[in-house]
Amino acid sequence: MQRVDIDQPRWSQDTFVGRLKHFSTITDPRTALCTEEELDNASKLVQQYRLGNEPPGTTEEQLWYAQKLYMSAFHPDTGEKMNMFGRMSFQVPAGMILGGCLMQFYKTIPQVVFWQWVNQSFNALVNYTNRNAKSSITNKQIGVAYASATTAATIVSVGLNSLTKSAPPLIARYVPFAAVAAANCVNIPLMRQSELTDGIAVYDENGELIGDSKRAAIKAVSQVVASRIGMAAPGMLTIPIIMEKLEKYPFMQRIKILHAPIQMLFSGVVLLFMVPVGCAMFPQKCALSMEYLEPMLKRSYEEKTGHRHGTVFFNKGL
């Protein structure tokens, strides 16, 4: 078997299609069902291949499948196994349940508070799990981010609910999306606040460390916020229209108990496509032109590379 670079994605990350294929493997919800033994065996094969000690007869497809499981379950910065509920491969099953319930139970304050709390608890776990792990965060910072995002989502939901009482029913159905978008704008920056205050590691084209950049962190966090909102938008903006029309039919009025499961099913179908699309919106290995770097890092780059102009790279997180 011809040697392949196991540490590089199978498809080019310079194009959206290549990134979509790459993230479709990482976010494949079927990998969330893999046993600990399967994941550990995949990690072992990847490590063996890196050292050139893979078992005789290992095929390229076996290698790429092992890499698929490895990327879906192990953090790209630390190599540590991630919490199952925080992995991007768990976004579809968790998102379909939470999305369906957020869109179904939005009419009373207790419903809003409960489901926004559940949703932000899950989001906080995902944001922490997929952060740039080379930037530290304290338990206090995690608590503040979690409480702030939950509070922001609840305030937006309750506030908009009160404003839309006299509006058409369809308008009220969009309140959960507004709350989710607002919470993402709070939760992600706060959960990754150490990156924004201390910067994240940036590297030159040869992988040599240049230093920590706050400006790179701002770009990384902004792109993650946009991609998370992008994941949720199609489902939470179209499903309310579908449900508004379906609920007018007599048969739907007779099976109100199934409205939440139906919305979960719709949400799952949309997320199956939108989770990899959202992840693929921006390259994982993010680039930043030298001209936007802090002056100190510009000098460091010039000293290390001998060039005044160029590009640095960093892991934006997911």
Q: What is the pLDDT of residues 127-170, one digit of tens each?
A: 777 766 666 667 777 777 778 777 777 777 777 777 766 667 77
How many other C-beta atoms can be found within 10 angstroms of the C-beta atom of residue 108? 10
Q: How confident is the model at residue 180 (pLDDT cuts 50, 70, 90)?
A: confident
Whether 290 has a pLDDT exceeding 70, the answer reads yes
pLDDT at 133: 62
Q: How confident is the model at residue 99 (pLDDT cuts 50, 70, 90)?
A: confident
Average pLDDT in the 94-122 region?
Answer: 83
Specify the higher pLDDT residue, 28 or 159: 28
Average pLDDT in the 271-296 region?
Answer: 86
Whether 194 has a pLDDT exceeding 90, the answer reads no
Tokens for 232, please give them.
């949720």
Ordered by start, the domain boundaries in the chain are 16-74, 85-199+212-283
pLDDT at 11: 86
User: Distance of CA 193 to CAs 77, 113, 131, 205, Å?
Assistant: 18, 25, 10, 26
Concatenating the DSSP letter of every residue in 260-304 gives: HHHHHHHHHHHHHHHHHHHHHTS-SEEEEEGGGS-HHHHHHHHHH
Whether 129 and 194 have beta carbons less than 8 Å apart is answered as: no
pLDDT at 132: 61
Whether 76 has a pLDDT exceeding 80, the answer reads no
What type of residue sits at position 44? Answer: K
Q: How far apart are CA 103 and CA 100, in angstroms?
A: 5
Concatenating the DSSP letter of every residue in 68-101 gives: HHHHHHB-TTT-PBPPGGGSGGGHHHHHHHHHHH
Q: How far apart are CA 64 and CA 283, in angstroms?
A: 20
Please list the residues that pair with 74 across neighbouring strands: 81
Q: What is the pLDDT of residues 231-278, one digit of tens each?
A: 888 988 898 889 888 888 888 888 888 888 888 999 899 999 998 999
Whether 216 has a pLDDT exceeding 80, the answer reads yes
- Which of the listed ranges 2-16, 99-113, 270-284, 292-306 does the model predict with the highest average pLDDT? 270-284
pLDDT at 37: 92
How long a stretch of residues is the chain? 318
Average pLDDT along the chain: 83
Q: What is the pLDDT of residues 33-49, one digit of tens each?
A: 889 999 999 999 988 88
Q: What is the pLDDT of residues 80-91, one digit of tens each?
A: 888 888 888 888
Residue of 155, 136, 222, 216 lying closest to 184 (CA atoms)? 222
Whether 226 has a pLDDT exceeding 90, the answer reads yes
Q: How confident is the model at residue 223 (pLDDT cuts 50, 70, 90)?
A: very high
**Three-state SS at 43:** helix
pLDDT at 20: 92
pLDDT at 18: 92
Average pLDDT in the 69-98 region?
Answer: 85
Sheet holding 285-289, edge to edge: 209-213, 200-203, 311-315, 285-289
Whether 67 has a pLDDT exceeding 70, the answer reads yes
Average pLDDT in the 280-309 region?
Answer: 80
